[in-house]
Each structure stands twice: as structure tokens, then as C-alpha cells.
Amino acid sequence: MRLSSVQIFQQGISAILDQQAKLNQTQQQLATGKRILNPSDDPVAAVQILDITEDLALVDQYKRNGSLAEGQLALEESVLASVGNVLQRVRELVVQANNATQGPETRNTIATEIETRLDELQSLANTRDASGEYIFAGYQSDTEPFARQGNNFSYNGDDGQRFLQLGSSSQVSVRDSGFDVFMSVPSGNGTFDVEPNTANTGAAVVGATSINGSFVPDNYVVSFTQATPSDPITYQVMDSSPAVIAGGTYVPGDTIIFPGVSLQFDGVPADGDSFDVTPSIKQDVFTSLQLIIDDLKNSGSSSAATAVVNNGMAQGLNNLDQALGHVLGIRAEVGVRMNHVENQLNINESFTLQLQDTLSNIQDLDFAEAISRLNLQLTALQAAQQTYVKVQGLSLFNYL
């Protein structure tokens, strides 16, 4: 087989270029620390790297969501703590106002402070986050949720809850609807409510109320009768049918019991005085405070007027206790969600480490092997260059 000089030279140059290409790739691998520079280097591994990279990006988004959720929940928990403090202070003021030593003037002063607390409560309910969104407005986060017109309060948000995805199968609510927090508080003791008739003229005051057995929801009326001052005071309880379901003689301090209800009364009622016992309804906390303010501002010094105030304060204390328990329950739920976010962040962090370890095993370069290969390729390149020098000098013209 005959080889021309051109072929011999071309083979030598090709050998040098091939060794240079291999050497260049190894040098790039060492410079980047990556074993795979192009998908063609290892197609299977390249696909695996793409999948893992996408998973890492997704987990990174979950981690950012988790950090955002932590901030949102921490803000809500802080606001709810402040709401609880406001309600607790109002409760202390109501207990103070319900004291027999208080007169109309001092009760009016207490009402003024409660008005300030009511304004503070509305301000807390209209709290915004760092991005300017109202945290208790549901999905209507750009609309101020709680508005006041006179003594009436309205909610302009909705019942929506905003969720953030923390994992492929994990999400958490980062906000609570203002309707659920402030507008949906059970009245009375949570089961039933007791309210004196506005026409009462006696001094009877409702004390402790409790559930006695199974309460049958209905509208009950407890009425008192005393035909003449020398007659004993009697009472009867009627349901909505109307049918008498309980009755007896009343002595101040007695407890009136009928199916599902236990009511303790103090003071002497007037003939015809009555009290309505109705199932609890959902009432907003703002109205509960406003009713307390109205009772305190309209208080008088007569025994009947004092009874009106005492009944109003007793009813207000029940409503405040329900509101405090309601807010505390929501705070507990927020705390549970915060723990869930923290646990999920730890899970995401562990998953990230696993993915990074797997990715490293697939794409990272073995530096010891690469350096050995580099030295071998340098030697091969030098050999190819020296061989080419020798071959290109093999010509008969050199011997003429």
C-alpha cells in the first residue's frame, strides 16, 4: 500500500489535533469541576442532572414559600396576641365597672377607656403586612375589611383563606378570615344567652349561668310574679309553644333550673319582670364592646338602673370570655401551623441535601482521575508532536 507525503502529514496533524481536543476537554473539566460538559458526554447522566436540577429549583421555591409562611403566621400571631391583650383589659374594666361602689360618673369614665380600646381593636383588625395587604380581609386583601358607621360595624372582606405550598403534598393556610376571627364569636356562654327584658323595673340580676344536662335550643322566658308586696315571689319558665316547663318560689340568690339550663339570680325582681333565654348566636366582638359602652354611658343611680348595668356587664363578661376563648383558639391553630411550617422546612432542607449529594455523584469530577488523565494526555500529545517531526523529515531529498 502506497502512502503519499500528504497522507502521512495529514495523519500526523490529525493525531496532534485529536490529542489536543482530549487535553482541552480534560482541562475544561478541571476548570469547572464538572465531569459532564455537554449532554453528548453522557446522555443518560445529562437527563438525570436535568431532572435533579428541576427538583432542586422546586424545593428551593418551597423553601421560599416556607419562609414567607413563617413571616405571615408570625405577624398574625402577634396581632392576635395584641387582640387578646385588648380584650383582657376590657374585661378588667368591665369587672371594675360592675362593682357596687361605682357610680354613673366613674362608669362613664370607664366607658371612655373602653371606647379607646374599641378603636385599638378595630385598628388591629385592619392590620396590613409588609406588602400593604390587609391580613384579615380574606381574598379581598386590598380592601379595608372592617368599617364603622356610628355604632355599627361591617365586614367588607370574604371568607377566603390564602394557602402556600410547602411541598409536593403539603400546604398551609397563612391567613385567617376576619369574619372567622372577629365576626363569628358565640354569644352568652357559648350555648345560650340570657337577656333581661327592656321593660324590667326590678333589681334582679343574672349571675352565673351554666349548662345543666342537654340543652334543647328554644326561646325560653323566665318571668317573675308578685301580686302584692306581702306575697312570695314566684317564677315560671315557658318555652316557645308556649308551655310552662318549670316554676316555683323565688328567693334572692336562688338558682333556677330547667332542662339544660342553670341560672343563678340575685336581687329582687318586680312583678312582671322577665328574662329571655335564647340559643347563642354568632356576634362580632366589636358589637359586644359597643353594647358594654352603651350600658355604661346610660347608667343611672336607682336600684333598677343599677340592675340594668349589672345585667349588661354580666352579659358583656360572658361575651368577652367567649371572645377571649375564640381568639386563643385561633392563636393555637396558628401555632400548630407554624410548627408544621418549621417541620416542613426541615424536611425540605434534608431533601435538598439528598438531591445535592446525588447530583454531585453524577456530575462532579474525580479530580485525582482527571489529573492522571491530563498527565497521560500531555505525554500522548508530546509523543504525537515528536512523531510528526520525525515523519515529516523522512524525504529522499535529504539524502541527495
On whether the CB atoms of residues 68 and 166 are closer than 8 A, the answer is no
By the 10 Å C-beta count (0-12 exposed, 13-18 middle, 19+ buried), 168 is classed as: exposed
3 state SS for 254-277: CEEEECEEEEEEECCCCCCCEEEE
Alpha-carbon distance 257 to 244, whole Å? 13
The answer to whether 256 touches 237, Cβ cutoff 8 Å, is yes
**pLDDT (0 to 100) of residue 397:** 53
In the chain the first and final C-alpha atoms are separated, in Å, by: 25
pLDDT value of residue 396 = 53
- Sites in the chain below the pLDDT cut of 70: 1-23, 26-27, 29-30, 32-33, 35-42, 364-367, 369-370, 373-374, 377, 380-381, 383-400
pLDDT of residue 140: 92
Which CATH number is correct for 34-188+281-364, 3.20.20.70, 1.20.1330.10, 3.30.2310.20, 3.40.50.10310?
Answer: 1.20.1330.10
* Every domain of the chain and the residues it spans: 34-188+281-364, 191-279
pLDDT for 314 equals 93
Residues 392, 396, 399, CA angle at the centre, nearest 5°?
Answer: 110
Residues 258 and 245 sit within 8 Å (Cβ to Cβ) = yes
One DSSP character per residue, 160-209 reads: ---EEEEETTEEEE----HHHHHS-EEPTTSSEEEEE-TT--S--EEEEE
Neighbours of 67 (CB within 10 A): 13
Distance CA 129, CA 107 (A): 37
Q: Give the residue ranges of DSSP H helices in the chain.
A: 5-32, 43-97, 104-125, 178-182, 285-297, 303-363, 367-392
Rounded to whole angstroms, the Cα distance separating 257 from 210 reads: 10
- Each residue of 367-389: pLDDT tens digit? 676 677 667 767 766 766 666 66
pLDDT of residue 126: 96
Four-point Cα dihedral 93, 99, 105, 106, nearest 10: -40
Grid cell 391553630 in the structure block, residue: 333
